[in-house]
Structure 1
Amino acid sequence: MHRQRRHALITTTALACGTALALATLAAPAQAHGRAPGPSLERSVLAANDGWASADGGTTGGRAADAEHVYTVTSWAEFKAALAAAEGSPSIIRVKGTLDALSDSEGNQRTCDDYAVAGYSFDKYLAAYDPAVWGHENPVSGEQEDLRAASAAVQGARIKAYVPADTTIVGVGGNARILGGSLQVKDVGNVIIRNLTFEDAFDCFPQWDPTDGENGAWNSEYDNLVVYGSTHVWVDHNTFTDGRHPDSEQPHYYGQLYQQHDGELDIVHGADLVTASWNVFADHDKTLMIGNSDSAGASDRGKLNVTLHHNQFKNIIERAPRVRFGKVDTYNNHFVVPESGYVYSFGIGIESQLVAEKNAFTVPAGVRAGTILKKWKDSPVTTAGNHVNGSYVDLLAVHNAEIPEETLRSDAGWTPALRTQVDNPRAVPHLVDGRAGAGKIH
């Protein structure tokens, strides 16, 4: 196994959830593990008119939970046990401290080698699929790719956690953290996730795709949080970061970054009615994708309606967000563009209807304002009242002037109505930077 893998601080998750010991702990009253946050936090619901998740009855999560369905968890094993116990009843899960999805039940750390199945060798993988040997015409296949996929499945089973319907997950205090885990909100409804730091959903076994782009690329799994086919989801006051394994410290193979992170938040596969507010998305490449495929029109048309407001996107390279199909409202967000490597913020994809209004951009010298928008497919976009470095800039006009080969059309064709307070974009940097993220709920 190559040197970086031997020294990676990747650990294995706890044993399968639902053990009698874990459930006995979780069934205790919420106050058994310390002082509970006030009811305004753990039983709060999304306000009326606060984005798409407030439509069609709103989003209440686990507000109706009885005492037997309020859990306080302090480990990944307890967390997965609570999620299993919550199935079928409104529930509140209170996260206290760090839940390390990559450690065993005693908290011992594990390396990527512990996930690898017998016969898998990264050195053999590199030798088998070297472009000089394999070429760029065909996806990889064969023994080492099969063993890589099997190893990835072992890791995935341990770090993925599935959230049931009618659930609120909330961090206790200012330091609640999910480390190395991938939270899955899949095919359910009515979920609230607040006041958590999501750090380093790290893929031990990225796949080499020689057909991805001109030179091929390494692709990874495991978003920190994915909303998949679900409706009425509120994601509020969380922090998303690569943390201990930033992409800048990862090696290159075949001349390409060995990418071991996927998205920080993805909203895909017909998900709908989602509000993401007052979050921090930091230090990441492909950050927030709304709609996963150009070919998914049959399932995605009329869905993927998402509101993003008062979020901070700091040192984000691209996809903030990239949009397909949905009516997406982005207002009052603060984008702190990195000094190097920046590609774009708003990705305009197939049949998208993005409205970008009264956002603030802090852009370093050398980054053109025209690159804030990126045309992937010919779809209209509405931009209004956005500020760059404190001054009004017509993002669409600047983009079309600077990048005429990617001319975009104006007017997304709809006017957002589900908004609460809309702030002056000049006030947005101070307001968002001071209040967004975990531990800052007022």
Structure 2
Amino acid sequence: MRLSPARLSPPGKSRRATPRTALAVVALAASLLTAAPTGPDSAVAEPAPGAAPRVAPAGSAAADGFASVDALGQDGTTGGAGGAVVTATTTARFLEYISRPEPLVVQVKGTITLPTGSTDGMHPVASDKTIVGLGDDARLTGGGLTIGLPVDDDVTSPPANAVHNVIVRNLSFDGATDDLINVQMFSHHIWIDHNDFSNGDDGAVDVKRGSDFVTVSWNRFHDHDKTLLLGHDDANAAQDRGRLRTTYHHNFFDASDQRNPRVRFAEPVHVYNNHYRDNSYGVASAMDAGVVLEGNYFHSVNNPARVDFSGDLGRLVERDNILVDCNHPIETRGSVVEPRTYYPYTLHRAAEVPIVVPAGAGVGKI
């Protein structure tokens, strides 16, 4: 376990793009087609001095970020690996598969409608599951997935039966009457990757109530209001403080309005190489949360990142972000635990993000 935190202070290196920068972004497109990383070690290799940093390919089959950390008795996130591979084409079969106690790889074929019923359309996922869409048209509509035990305010430390080791990939989610995905009650080692989220009634992907070691990567969020909640509410420190360690990288926030993400209590939260376009705000850090924001590209975002939001002030360190046609600068405050304390990573340059992320995020890319 790599759990000895180091801290860094905010260098404050975001920059507003100039016309010359915009031309450079266009010029990068051709070179990225030939220079994209292809080797399995590209996720951890350090770039040579002056070279463009790289990340693993968009279709990488292994969890990275906080979902890769050896902690809480779980060495990374493997989902249903080692279990049977099954294919769901009906609602009944899908709900049966995701609730089974054993490891299972659940392939989703076509459109599955999740009923509302007595659960407001939220359906529980058991531990050790990979839920993956086949092709580019696998879809869950009308309801959402809950990854976690039922809510219990009296539980303030991880229970032995906390839901863990769940992967959700290559699925379109829409039309839920509540959340599209809700991670709760000390669930840990969750990887949500290469999905498409839209038109949910509440959150797209909410992570709360003591959940931990989560990665949200290469997803497209669009036609949605309250996108990513991290931390239940201002009064939930007993469950959330010291947990909620989450990585958000290479997501396309495509006019998703707000909460991209909205953070309480968590530290560190790592937000890197995301593409923001036409949002009311990007990141909000509150209730003494600690966010590291780096290598992101903000285009037409009213408030790219805030620490003075609601409730107590948060903390935020930023470096090497690009702002284009944004109304306010990135707000910074304090120091934050360094994500590299927990896992290795490398970056695309922020100028590459508007080429790399829309091309690689969403379904049909793995």
CA contact (8 A) 2:275 2:357 kept: yes
Cα 1:156–1:440 shift into 2, 3 Å: farther
Deviating beyond 4 angstroms after TM superposition, the runs of 4 or more aligned structure 1 residues are none
When residues 156 and 422 of structure 1 are mapped into structure 2, their CA distance, relative to the original with a 3 A threshold, is: farther
The AA in structure 2 aligned to 1:434 is A
Superposition pairs of residues 262-341 of structure 1, within 5 angstroms: 262-327=202-267, 328-338=269-279
Alpha-carbon distance change, 62 to 399 in structure 1, aligned in 2, over 3 angstroms: closer
Match for residue 253 of structure 1? none
| Distance apart, 1:155 and its partner CA | 3.3
Q: Where do residues 406-417 of structure 1 align in structure 2 (5 Å cutoff)?
A: 409-417=333-341
Gapped runs of 5+ residues in structure 1?
A: 1-43, 103-153, 203-221, 243-259, 401-407
The aligned counterpart of 2:85 is: 70
Shift of 1:158: 6.6
CA contact (8 A) 2:277 2:299 kept: yes
| Match of residue 351, structure 1, among 288, 291, 303 | 288
Cα separation, 2, equivalents of 1:399 and 1:313: 17
Distance 2:146 2:118 in 1: 11
Counterpart amino acid of residue 385 in structure 1: D
Partner amino acid, structure 2, of 1:354: V
Amino acid at match of 1:411: S
Tell me: CA distance 1:360–1:419, structure 2 relative to 1, closer, same or farther (3 Å). farther
> In 2, Cα distance between the equivalents of 1:191 and 1:80?
15
* Match among 313, 323, 331 for residue 388 of structure 1: 323
User: Which residue of 1 is the match for residue 179 of structure 2?
Assistant: 223
Alignment deviations for residues 372-399 of structure 1 (CA, whole Å, 9 cap, x no partner): 4252321221011100139xx9x7xx35
Deviations 1:69-128 (A, max 9, x none): 3221112111112123x21x11110000000124xxxxxxxxxxxxxxxxxxxxxxxxxx
Which structure 2 segments of 5+ residues have no match?
1-59, 149-161
Structure 1 counterpart SS, 2:165? strand
Q: Does 1:46 align with 2:3?
A: no
SS in 1 for 2:183: strand
State whether residues 300 and 326 of structure 1, in contact with CA within 8 Å, keep that contact through their aligned partners in structure 2.
Answer: yes
Is residue 345–residue 374 contact of structure 1 (8 Å, CA) maintained in 2? no
Q: Contact 1:356 / 1:384 at 8 angstroms: preserved in 2?
A: yes
Which has the bigger relative contact order, CA under 8 A and spacing at least 6? 2
Closer/same/farther in 2, CA of residues 55 and 399 from structure 1, 3 Å limit? closer
Q: CA deviation at 1:304?
A: 0.2
1:130-158 CA-partner distances (Å, limit 9, x unpaired):
xxxxxxxxxxxxxxxxxxxxxxxx73437
Task: Give the Cα–Cα distance (whole angstroms) in 2 for the partners of residues 378 and 297 of structure 1.
Answer: 14
1:326 shift after superposition = 1.0
Shift of the 371–329 alpha-carbon distance from structure 1 to 2, 3 Å rule, reads closer
Q: Give 3-state SS (helix, strand or coil) of 1:426's partner.
A: helix
Alignment partners' CA distance in 2, 1:166 and 1:385: 37
Q: Which amino acid aligns with 2:79?
A: G
Q: Is the 8 A contact 2:77 2:166 kept in 1?
A: yes
Opposite residue 97 of structure 2, the aligned amino acid is A
Q: Is the partner of 1:409 in helix, strand or coil?
A: coil
Aligned length: 285
Aligned to 1:201: 176
Q: Which residue of 2 aligns with 1:22?
A: none
- Whether the aligned pair in 2 keeps the contact of 1:45 and 1:59 (CA below 8 Å) is no
1:430 aligns with 2:355: yes
What is the rounded CA distance, in whole Å, between the counterparts of 2:134 and 2:365 in structure 1?
A: 12
Larger radius of gyration: 1
SS of 2:338's equivalent in the other structure is coil
What is the alpha-carbon distance in structure 1 between the residues aligned to residue 292 and residue 194 of structure 2?
Answer: 22
Please state which structure has a larger fraction of its residues in strand.
2
Cα deviation for residue 419 of structure 1 reads: 4.1
SS state at 1:378 partner: coil
What TM-score do the two structures reach when normalised by structure 1? Answer: 0.61
Query: Does structure 2 conserve the Cα–Cα contact (< 8 Å) formed by 1:46 and 1:58?
Result: no
**292-301 or 90-99, larger mean C-alpha shift:** 292-301
Structure 1 residues 419 and 330 mapped into 2: Cα distance closer, same or farther (>3 Å)?
farther
Give the aligned partner of residue 254 of structure 1. Answer: none
Question: C-alpha separation between the residues in 1 aligned to 2:346 and 2:334?
Answer: 25
The answer for the alignment partner of 1:252 in structure 2 is none
RMSD of Structure 2 on Structure 1 (CA): 2.2
- The structure carrying a bigger helix percent of its residues is 1
